[in-house]
Chain A
Amino acid sequence: MGELEIEKHTQFIMSVEKKKDFDSMVMEHLRMSGAYWGLTTLDLMGKLDAVNREEVVSWVLQCQHDCGFSGNVGHDPHILYTLSAIQILALLDKLDTIDADKISAYIVGLQQEDGSFAGDEWGEIDTRFSYCAVCCLSILHRLDKIDVGKAISYVASCKNFDGGFGCTPGGESHAGQIFCCVSAFAISGALTHVDRDLLGWWLCERQVKSGGLNGRPEKLADVCYSWWVLSSLTIIERVHWIDKEKLKTFILDCQDKEHGGISDRPDDAVDVFHTFFGIAGLSLLEYPGLKPIDPAYALPVHVVDRLFFGQPH
Chain B
Amino acid sequence: MHGRPRKSLSDGGSQEKDMAKAAGLQSLQTQFFKNHHEKIYTKEALQLNAKLLEINPEIYTAWNYRKLAIKQLLESESDSAVIKQSLDEELRVVERALKRNHKSYGAWHHRKWVINMGYSSLDHEFQLLDQLLKADSRNFHGWNYRRFVADMKKSRDEDELKFTTKKINENFSNYSAWHNRR
Contacts and interface: CB of A to CB of B under 8 A. Distances in A.
Contact of B144 (A22, A168, A263): A168
A267 interface: yes
A21 B6 contact: no
Interface in A155-171: 160-162, 166-168, 170-171
B22 A268 contact: no
Contacts of B19: 20-22
Nearest to B17: A22
A29 B60 contact: yes
Contacts of A246: none
Contact of A172 (B3, B4, B29, B179): B179
Given A76-B60, A122-B64, A167-B140, A22 B1 contact: no
A268 B5 contact: yes
A172 B6 contact: no
Given A29-B59, A76-B60, A218-B138, A171 B144 contact: yes
Nearest to A161: B182
Contacts of B55: 26
B42 to A, nearest CB: 20
Interface residues of A, number: 50
Nearest to A267: B6
A94 interface: no
A172 B140 contact: yes
B180 interface: yes
Contacts of B39: none
A-B residue pairs, 8 tightest by C-beta? A124-B109, A22-B22, A269-B4, A217-B175, A76-B61, A172-B179, A22-B21, A75-B61
Interface of A: 20-30, 70-71, 74-76, 78, 120, 122-124, 126, 160-162, 166-168, 170-174, 216-219, 222, 256, 259, 263-265, 267-271, 273-274
20 contacts: A21-B15, A24-B22, A27-B1, A30-B58, A70-B61, A123-B113, A126-B105, A160-B179, A161-B179, A162-B179, A166-B140, A216-B138, A218-B138, A222-B2, A265-B3, A268-B4, A268-B5, A268-B6, A269-B5, A271-B1
